Structure 1
Amino acid sequence: MFYKKLLTAICLLLASYSFGQAITPKEKKAIFDSTRKLFATHYHFKSSVKPTLEYLDKQWKSGRYTALNTIDAYKDSLSRDLKHFTQDGHLNFFYLTPDIANDTAPKPQIPWGLINDKFLNNGFTKLEILPGNIGYIRIEAFGSPDQIVPSAFSFVQNTDALIIDLRGNGGGMLSNEVISYLLPEDSILVNTIFWNDHTDSIYTYRKLAGPRYLDKPVYLLTDKGTFSSAEEFAYDLQNMKRVMIIGETTGGGANPGGTMPVYRFKDGSRLDLYVSMAHVENPITKTNWEVKGVQPDVQVPAKDALQKAHMIALEQLKQKEPNNEVQKRYKDIIERVGVGR
């Protein structure tokens, strides 16, 4: 169920703008009432429900939304007000065009990667071997598990260190398959998801289709755009002491949930709301990264994170290298990387 909910969110993120479409006072009231009801019924953190609803009612009565005459302006303002007390980055509205919102029509295979290039190749958008035999994997989103993941780790299996770039990765599907490639062959609990009506325990995979990347250093690059399951990936591995995180503090969105229909417009388009219906608990920290984000081990501006990680990887390999000639080679590469060549 969690996979389906997250995948729905991915699709909606690709169709969330209504391009200035007008909204009527009647539609605004219907959306407001429906939003109130969905939030009150399904939002996981019950202590936040009453103050949030009171705040929404206050904004409505004050006329805050009166001058907002487009769907985008209204949904964005309403979303901000939902977050006033919750500080929940997942509470967002998504606008679905009529073809996507048509629940009864056959669903064509939409090339999401051509609509949003973060989803090209299910999020694995770049593989490279950097100078000094450092592997580099760019993961811009966590798409559906498939043969791309084992192929990516086959590509970097002979490198001496690995950099995984999560900058701008807004999440998507669960990341435990990718985590499994960096941990021993076992079933390791990475987190537990406490839903409104049940609990899911998320483990690593015992068997994988590609080679594991073990006993070698791994560096993760993050920024404020690293969010949701991308943060889960970083948070879990950081607390296992498996990775070094380099870059900026992440966005702070840990609460899983699902999208729910709020209002259908006359043209067949629809407005949905992503509602958080669970909280995540890491088995080591007994908490998660909600609001506070994942703190990097080495804090640098996002634009400098790759160069910094590359330098650190080379320095660590140089220090462990017993051969003087190889050490000199590392030193030469470090000098070149340091000046951006």
Structure 2
Amino acid sequence: MTTVTKLLPAPVIDETARLLTEHYVFPDIAEQVAGLLRRRLAEGAYDVDDAEELARLVTADLQSVNGDRHLRLKHHADAVPPKRGAATLEAMRRDFDASLGGAPLVRLLDGQVAVVELAPMLFPLEWAAEPLSAAFTVASRARALIVDLRANRGGDPDTVAFACSYFLDERTHLNSMYWRDGDRTEQSWSLPHVPGARFGGSKPLYILTSGSSFSAAEELAYDLQQLGRAVVVGEPTLGGAHPCNGWTVHQNLEATVPVGRAVNPVSGTNWEGVGVRPDIPCAATDALDRAHALALARLTD
């Protein structure tokens, strides 16, 4: 039987503020936000006894300074383990098992145009490599490809690089990530070899986005767009370019704190706060038909 821990807002706020100041990728902003949380606590703004309500209130304040959508106090209905990131990982695994490994749809449209949907996440590469390789290998025979990220809410940067590798012919610098820990920068490159067959770097490639596409899904669209490899069709994305870690601060609450920021080698910046801007703007519900029509037109040129 699970023991229910009484919600005491003060320890949750104190620990969240500490995590911010120690780990947030922008130290100056961390100090501002931590100070705001402590002021709001002293004012009684967090005097609630419901964990979900506290998560809502604190998240609004966390995001109020610079709009970082990765900076959150997340509520979990089930008790979460104390190990860092364990709550998020458990939820990911449930979604992975329910979505054929993150590639729930592969189909062929008229004109030999394939569609691969990647949803609801780009799961950790050690899980996702096999199902994604299978999906991309099947699609490699198509004359054009549409990758549907409209329902994808993010995931693993290593999986982004793995996916991009199927759409490029040569090893390519995709992205760089600055990490506060160690004040260091790591480069992300496409892979020289992939399991299965590549779609390759020359056939028409389209990526569908929506206002819900987030984080690693945005990186996949942005990386290929900046390289001139893919045409992005749909809506501007949500705008989260900061990878984060999660820490349990109460049995039902997890503080997610961005610990790095993306720097694209082509643009010199990223999609934080502005989203990935589509090359062909349209409603997300119309994006598939629009991309299919574009692909057919290009194939008949």
Q: TM-score range by the shorter chain?
A: 0.7 to 0.9
**How far, CA to CA, are the matches of 1:280 and 1:119 in structure 2?**
30
2:147 aligned with 1:147? no
Which of 212, 218, 221 is matched with 1:234 structurally? 221
* Structure 2 letter corresponding to 1:150: S
1:87 counterpart letter in structure 2? G
Q: Deviations over 1:267-299 (max 9, x none)?
A: xx3522111111111111111111111000011
**1:76 corresponds to which of 56, 74, 82:** 56
1:284 aligns to what SS in structure 2? coil
**Alignment partner of 1:40 is 2:40:** no
Contiguous gaps of at least 5 residues in structure 1: 1-20, 264-268, 321-341
TM-score (norm 1): 0.78
Q: What is the CA–CA distance in structure 2 between the aligned matches of 1:165 and 1:216, rounded to whole Å?
A: 17
- SS of the aligned residue for 1:85 comes to coil
Question: Could you tell me how far apart the structure 2 residues matched to 1:286 and 1:112 are?
Answer: 31
From 239, 249, 257, the counterpart of 1:262? 249
- CA separation in 1, counterparts of 2:191 and 2:49? 49
Aligned-pair distance for 1:208?
A: 0.9
Letter of the structure 1 residue corresponding to residue 62 of structure 2? L
Structure 1 runs of 4+ with >3 Å offset? 21-24, 94-100, 109-113, 115-119
| Equivalent of 1:290 in 257, 267, 272 | 272
- 5 Å-filtered alignment, 1:168-187, equals 168-174=151-157, 175-186=160-171
CA distance in 2, matches of 1:119, 1:284: 36
Whole-angstrom distance in 2 between the partners of 1:208 and 1:94: 36
Rounded Cα–Cα distance in structure 2 between residues aligned with 1:148 and 1:289: 28
For 1:87 and 1:180, the matched residues in 2 are separated by 32
- Which amino acid letter does the alignment assign opposite residue 296 of structure 1? P
Identity level (%): 29
Contact 1:119 1:143 (C-alpha < 8 Å) held by counterparts: no
> Structure 2 CA distance, aligned partners of 1:94 and 1:121?
26
TM-score by length of 2: 0.87
Letter in 1 for 2:25: H
User: 1:159-170 maps to which residues of 2 (within 5 A)?
Assistant: 159-170=142-153
Counterpart position of 1:121 = 100
Are the equivalent residues in 1 in contact too, given 2:92–2:123 (CA < 8 A)? no
Q: 1:134 aligns with which of 113, 119, 137?
A: 113
How many angstroms apart in 2 are the aligned matches of 1:119 and 1:143?
Answer: 12
Query: Are 1:200 and 2:183 counterparts?
Result: no
Opposite residue 42 of structure 1, the aligned amino acid is: H
1:202-217 aligned within 5 A: 202-214=188-200, 215-217=202-204
Q: How many residues align?
A: 285
* Counterpart amino acid of residue 190 in structure 1: L
Q: Distance in 1 between matches of 2:276 and 2:76?
A: 31
Return the alpha-carbon distance in structure 2 between the equivalents of residues 182 and 262 of structure 1: 41
Counterpart in 1 of 2:208? 221
Instruction: Give the whole-Å Cα distance in 2 for the aligned partners of 1:229 and 1:116.
Output: 16
Aligned: 1:89 with 2:69: yes
Tell me if structure 1 keeps the 8 A contact 2:101–2:132.
Answer: no
Q: 118-127 vs 281-290, which deviates more?
A: 118-127
Aligned pair 1:316/2:298, yes or no? yes
Identify if the C-alpha distance between structure 1 residues 112 and 228 changes in structure 2 by more than 3 Å, giving closer, same or farther. Answer: closer
Residue segments in structure 2 that go unaligned for 5+ positions in a row = none
Over alpha carbons, which structure has the higher Rg? 1
